[in-house]
Amino acid sequence: MAKDNAQGNQTAQDGREIEVLGTCQTQPKMDAQHDHNIAPALVWSYAQEEALVSVSNQHDHDKCYRLLPDAEDRARRIAARYAGLYFDSAAKSNGKVQFYWPALAAFVVKDIVEAYRFDRENVLEGGWSNAARTSALPALVSQGLSDASPYAHAMRVYVALAKGNLWLYMDIYPWLYFFLRFGIKQDGSLNEARLRSHVEQRNATEYQQQSRKAVEDLPFGRAWFARQQARQANDPVYKRAAQYFETRPTWSGMDGGYGALTAASYQASNYVKAHIASYDGGYHLPVAAKWQPMSEAFYVMEEERIELTRVAQDKAAFDRMDKIAKFPTTKEIRETYELLISEFYGGPEAQAEIQLSELKVIARQEQLNILQPLIYDDQKLKETMDMNHRFARASGGVMTTKYRVIYSAKPTTDDPKLQTVFDPPSGRWRQFRDGIMNDQQSLPNPVDRMKYVGQIANDFHYLMSHDRTYMESELKTIRASGGEKHA
């Protein structure tokens, strides 16, 4: 139920103002409907709003939707929505079309949730349990190899994951949601004319004003970083915590003054943990609620400030992002729509082959058109990811986690059939030799990564072809993990 407001838009019962879109009743007979000629920009605004609302919560006091502040919560929602696209596309089309890439993406984003957890609990929290990664010796090794601390590397990965995951979703989800919502009619038939014409007409600069502003204000965009940097410059929590170090220790005595420095560090970190929530506002990574276990919270905050400032000052990255944030039509998106139309008419015999093609085409859109310019072209991130891979490969995943996709709703598995590992060594000798010689592939390198993506696609397709019952059961679990209700 919705009612008209003064501007002629509609206000739904949930309080979300939307345009009148889609099918409008023009006759008193219940089933007599007419497709109103709505401007493509408004229909695309609606599809974009669906992506925005799906990673937001509605607040009781004003019924407005606000973006989930926690990147980890957003990732759970995104994984759930990708899984939902897989099931919903089959339901609406009566099985004639079933989006394939989103099913794989649900597993990948579930792994991103685990990557966040590892970054926090196994690096940023520090302490004795993580001494092998964050104590003095590994910190010196990290500084010697890359001129950055373990905390800096962990923060760099956390920020990149948060940025890449959110903006990729904002690009991909509306393309597929539009096909499902506006390309398949209520009677189950396909609106080819709309799909082929409207696929060329998505442009964020032409969105309805509210939708356009919501996209412009998303985290890691120009407007968000302007606000974040202003808040960071005036952060009273950091300024007060830093004052514990204003009285420099006297470098003499039995401990050379180290005890005074340790005490200052302890006090500064405790102050950060006690007060960070008072000045969060959704601009800390991780969110304030996750800082309590961090034994060296002050030093983590310093690395957070350095990393966010570095990204905020990367003009070339902003120029690349400006292009991505318009969500332009690419040849991969056109090809995706044509493949989905072919799948609709191709019948069960051709479906599996078309689905695999669809997966690989969207993977090119995802990896080469979005993630490469968005995050992987960052040389500092490449240094971090290459070093992580070097140590993971040499230690068999003991020092840090391997880059891998796990085909399970659980965060990890020991079953080699349920995972695809990036650049595995051919034997134990190569494992140590390559680590010492720094001779391995690079995930940020598009050639190396696309080779890996191809292997992922083949492994995923094999599991879907031979054990779909298991895979769909795991996807249902991922869909339920997002916290949204489903019939």
Q: How does pLDDT run across 261-280, given as a tens digit for each residue?
A: 788 899 999 999 999 999 99
Task: Report residue 194 as tokens.
Answer: 């709309």
Convert the pLDDT of each residue in 301-352 to its tens digit: 999 999 999 999 999 999 999 999 999 999 999 999 999 999 999 999 999 9
Given a cut of 90, whether residue 206 has pLDDT beyond it is: yes
In whole angstroms, what separates CA 155 from the centre of its chain? Answer: 15
Compute the distance between CA of residue 202 and CA of residue 129 in angstroms, rounded to an integer: 49
pLDDT at 29 (0 to 100): 43
Given a cut of 50, whether residue 288 has pLDDT beyond it is: yes
pLDDT at 246 (0 to 100): 80
DSSP 122: I
Residue 287 DSSP SS3:
coil
pLDDT at 59 (0 to 100): 82
At 423, phi and psi to the nearest 5?
50, 55
Predicted TM-score (pTM) of the model is 0.88
Residue of higher predicted confidence among 469 and 255: 469
Residue 96 DSSP SS3:
coil
Q: What is the mean pLDDT of residues 18-34?
A: 37
- CA dihedral 378→380→384→387, nearest 10 degrees, is 110
- Specify which residues 105 forms β-bridges with: none
Given a cut of 70, whether residue 438 has pLDDT beyond it is: no
**In contact, 411 and 474? CB cutoff 8 Å:** no
Distances (CA, A) of 359 to 332, 381, 392, 453, 454: 11, 26, 28, 10, 10
User: Secondary structure of the chain: what % helix, strand, coil (to 5)?
Assistant: 65, 5, 30
Buried/exposed code over 106-122 (b: 16+ C-beta within 10 A; e: otherwise): bbbbbbbbbbbebbbeb
Convert the pLDDT of each residue in 42-101 to its tens digit: 999 999 999 999 999 988 877 888 999 999 999 999 999 999 999 999 999 999 999 999
Report which residue type is found at 473.
S
Convert the pLDDT of each residue in 449-484 to its tens digit: 999 999 999 999 999 999 999 999 999 999 999 976
Q: What is the mean pLDDT of residues 162-171?
A: 98
In whole angstroms, what separates CA 143 from the centre of its chain? Answer: 28
Residue of higher predicted confidence among 106 and 130: 106
